[in-house]
Structure 1
Amino acid sequence: MPEAFTPRMIMRAEGQTYHQASLLSKQYSGGYWEFFTLNNGGFYLAPTCAERFDVSVDSNGYECNVSADAFGVIVTLFVYGALAWIDDETLREKYSNHYHQLRAFAIEHAEREEILNAID
């Protein structure tokens, strides 16, 4: 995680991840998350469980049911989107880049339609 979030931002990003997960899915009640490094230099987190998650996005009214992996991609995209507004130009650029790297990965994901509709 330090590569993706910087040492001083790890706790903030982790807290935002769990909070965002609970906002997006009433089913989410905590658990272990795995950290993934992408070939394009990006990163994301996903729950390690095998269950699927019902996702409801208040900001656009979209609802879907996705795998834990797709749920992690959605949650991480929301977290990067929030961090891209941080009051630090260097970190703003870093999180904006991570957002676009993860979105590029999402376009190739088996559940791309659900992921892209959720973040639209």
Structure 2
Amino acid sequence: MATEQELAPVTASLVAESDRLSFLPEVVGPHFMRFEALVYRWLSNLSQDYNGGFWNYYRLSNGGFYMAPDKDAALRLVVDGNAFDGEVSSDAAGIVATLFALGQMAEEIEGSAGVDAVIDHYHQLREFASEHAEAGLIFHAID
């Protein structure tokens, strides 16, 4: 029988302004600056609509996290290699960029002490993405 925790949806909470400076070092570890740059680069490469700006950080109830641009406008994503070309919310675009960055970071730090945590964060974010309103688009983009 499933426990109440297993049945509860994964929720996202916006990281408070006062916690922003410590958030990425806490969840990513010593590679946090490289990771943040990867997220920005991934979205820049995936979307001509993205032109920088403020990003929000979200903590997930399952221990995961993600970053998303603070924009109300949808973004068109084009993913070379899997034929994805679609419009998604900035929240979904952030999830896609964070998933790609986590995957790349795991590859870059393979064999180091922090790789297991990065892989766990990838799976925690995928779990959240599976319940997202744009789950189909997110999974098509990352597939």
After TM superposition, the score normalised by the length of structure 1 is: 0.95
Q: Which amino acid aligns with 1:65?
A: E
Deviation at 1:17, TM superposition (A): 1.0
Deviation at 1:87, TM superposition (A): 3.5
Q: Which amino acid aligns with 1:84?
A: A
Are 1:113 and 2:136 matched, yes or no? yes
> What residue in structure 1 maps to residue 88 of structure 2?
66
Are 1:22 and 2:44 matched, yes or no? yes
> What residue in structure 2 maps to residue 89 of structure 1?
112
Return the alpha-carbon distance in structure 1 between the equivalents of residues 136 and 26 of structure 2. 28
Which structure: larger Rg? 2
Are 1:100 and 2:127 matched, yes or no? no
Deviation at 1:40, TM superposition (A): 0.2
The gaps in structure 2 that reach 5 residues or longer are 1-23
> What residue in structure 1 maps to residue 25 of structure 2?
2
4+ aligned runs moved over 6 Å, structure 1: none
* Aligned pair partner of 2:78 in 52, 56, 59: 56
After TM superposition, the score normalised by the length of structure 2 is: 0.80
Across the aligned residues of Structure 1 and Structure 2, the Cα RMSD in angstroms comes to 1.0
The secondary structure found in structure 2 opposite 1:51 is coil
1:84-118 alpha-carbon deviations (Å, 9 max, x no partner): 11134322111110000000000000000000111
